[in-house]
Amino acid sequence: MADRLILQDPRKQYPKPPFPKQPQSAPGLVARMDPAPDHGETSYKGSGRLAGRKALITGGDSGIGRAAAIAYAREGADVAISYLPAEEKDAVEVIALIEAEGRKAAALPGDVSEEAWSRELVAKAVTALGGLDILVINAGRQQYRDSIAEVSSEDFDKTLKTNLYALHWIAQAAVPHLPPGASVITTASIQAYEPSAILLDYATTKAGIVAYTKALAKQLIDKGIRVNAVAPGPFWTVLQPSGGQPDEKVEQFGEHSAFGRPGQPVEIAPVYVLLASQEGSYITGEVYGVTGGAGIA
Listed by start position, the domains of the chain span 50-290
Please give the average pLDDT of every successive group of 10 residues along the chain, which has 297 residues.
78 97 93 96 96 98 98 98 97 98 98 98 98 98 96 96 98 98 98 97 98 98 98 97 95 97 98 98 98 91
114-138: pLDDT as tens digits: 999 999 999 999 999 999 999 999 9
For residue 2, the model assigns a pLDDT of 57
193 is annotated as an active-site residue: no
Output the pTM of the full model: 0.96
- Estimate to the nearest angstrom the gap between the alpha carbon of 228 and the chain centroid: 13
Of the candidates 271, 246, 211, 213, the one whose C-alpha atom is nearest the C-alpha of residue 64 is: 271
Q: How far apart are CA 163 and CA 157, in angstroms?
A: 10
Fold of 50-290: Rossmann fold (3.40.50)
The catalytically annotated residue of 202, 212, 272, 288 is 202
Task: Give strand ranges (E) for the chain.
Answer: 54-58, 78-83, 105-109, 134-137, 183-187, 226-232, 287-290
